[in-house]
Amino acid sequence: MKTVRKAIRDGDVERDSFGRLACNHCDRRLKTENDPDRLHSRKFCPNCGRKWKELS
């Protein structure tokens, strides 16, 4: 799974001036999914289901 940072670099995800993340394919705000191992959280697009991990 790619990181959010790489996804932004690749143009899959866009971060607005408020720090909110959105899927560039669907123009939808990403949602957060709790990861059971708690090492990182995951961001996912509720529309296309793409997922990215966010390192804390």
Nearer to Zn ion, 22 or 41 (CB): 22
Kindly report the number of other CB atoms within 10 A of residue 21's CB atom.
19
Distance, in Å, from the CA atom of 20 to the CA atom of 36, rounded to the nearest integer, reads 23
Nearer to Zn ion, 8 or 26 (CB): 26
- For the chain, the residue count is 56
Interaction with Zn ion in 20-49: which residues (CB under 5 A)? 23, 25-26, 45, 47-48
Nearer to Zn ion, 9 or 25 (CB): 25
Binding residues for Zn ion, per CB under 5 A?
A: 23, 25-26, 45, 47-48
